[in-house]
Amino acid sequence: MAGVGAARALASGGAGVTVLEAGERIGGRVWSIRDFADAPIEAGAEFVHGVGAATWTDVRRAGLRVQPVPYLRYSWFHLGGRTRWLPLHLTHPGVWRSFDILWSLHHLTGGDRSAAAFIEEKGYRGRAKELAQLTLTAHLPGGTDEVGMRGLVSDGVLHLEEGLNHRVLDGYDLLPQHVATGVDVRFGWRVARVAWSVEGVEVEADDGRVLSARAAVTTLPHGVLASGAVAFDPPLPPSKLDAIARIRTGAVAKVLLRFDDRFWPRRMAQLVCGDGPVTLYWPTSFGTAGAPVLIAYATGPRARALSEAGPDKAPDIVLDDLERVFPKAHPRRLVRDARFVDWLTDPNSLGGYTFLPPGAVGARAALAAPDTGALVWAGSATVWSPVADTVEAAYLSGLRAARQASAVLTGRTLRP
């Protein structure tokens, strides 16, 4: 999304633009699968977050059908061994101690610390601790001992708990495809080396092909950058290397499950799990007679465990969990197909998305900084407002990088 967004903006200003794509499709971690059910199923990003997202203009111009998914009203939780509508869980005295958590996040004091340290400091126990852990990490691909509190707040993650999200019924991948209309995209271009200077950029593929340009935008995912799979010549400045080292890319995995019939509540927008191998379950249709498909979504340590189990065992692990959270429904009797999606082992992403550990606030700005001559930086990991590492963040980063690349092309001074 960052790459095609930057390319379209630059092309509209008269620049000649080429997009180099390592894979064979447009969209990156926006990936809609069309051979699993009667409707497209999202293997990657799921939602347009909020009603004010910057991507809405293109969603409407592309004529995409969307469905609102009201989390706040229709969330189910599995807490204390029971699957119930969230308001019913909140009547239990065991969770009341955690009711101050959102206020505490908006009024953080002291130095940065992990979510685990914050929970211990607040004295949450039992169900209150389960609910606090979910509040702090359900949207992030890291464990409570990995996620930094200051980074969670500065990344705008709390905004994901608010507002109204929308699912793209026609397939989310049609959005980046729409943005890429008319753009020269060259597939199968796996970059191995980037040579940069103030005069221009030269990019070399792993098969020896070379392409030169007066300016370039890198939208390499942070997981790929952190792996060292791409060499930079000269080496990146210390501030950029430090930013890459401080940001973390976390594991994300999905198990797609198609059933004969729906056995979950019709008005269930999500089922969030306080324990077990899955972070949450999303039905792909809300309040309609759509395809009986559940997406098991795992993040952080839970996703790493499913990745280690592999594609043969992961669906069975998830079905065992569904038998636990819906003990009267016997989901195993109804399942017809399953598919495992592991972003941690995908060579073009090497993880799901990013989060900030303690002490990493400011690293996203350092990664985005135009301090490498004619090579400028974009990608969802380089944006922290309104919410870091979302499709909207990638889109906005592409627009910012296009302005910076335009400055390179016209000889204007780049500013942070």
Domains delineated in the chain: 2-26+180-249+351-410 (3.50.50.60), 91-161 (no CATH), 252-345 (3.90.660.10)
pLDDT band per the 50, 70, 90 thresholds, residue 160: confident
Residue with tokens 């980063």: 397
Q: What is the pLDDT of residue 167?
A: 95
CA dist 269 and 273 (Å) reads 13
pLDDT digits (tens, 9 = 90+) for 72-90: 789 999 999 999 999 999 9
8-state DSSP, 366: H
Angle at 31 between CA 30 and CA 36, to 5 degrees: 150
Instruction: Encode pLDDT of 200-244 as tens digits.
Output: 999 999 999 999 999 999 999 999 999 999 999 999 999 999 999
Let me know: does 39 contact 169? Beta carbons within 8 Å: yes
70 versus 7: which is more confidently predicted? 7
Dist CA 142 CA 301 (whole Å): 7
Task: Check residue 288 and give its pLDDT.
Answer: 67
Structure pTM?
0.95
Q: How far apart are CA 27 and CA 387, in angstroms?
A: 19
Residue 164 has pLDDT above 70, yes or no: yes
Instruction: For residue 285, name the pLDDT band (cuts at 50, 70, 90).
Output: confident
For the segment 307-321, the average pLDDT, to the nearest whole number, is 98
> Is the predicted pLDDT of residue 406 greater than 80, yes or no?
yes
> At residue 415, does pLDDT exceed 70?
no
How large is the angle between the packed helices 115-122 and 126-137, nearest 10 degrees?
150
The pLDDT of 125-133, averaged and rounded, is 94
| Alpha carbons 76 and 269: distance in angstroms, whole number | 8
Q: How far apart are CA 155 and CA 105, in angstroms?
A: 12
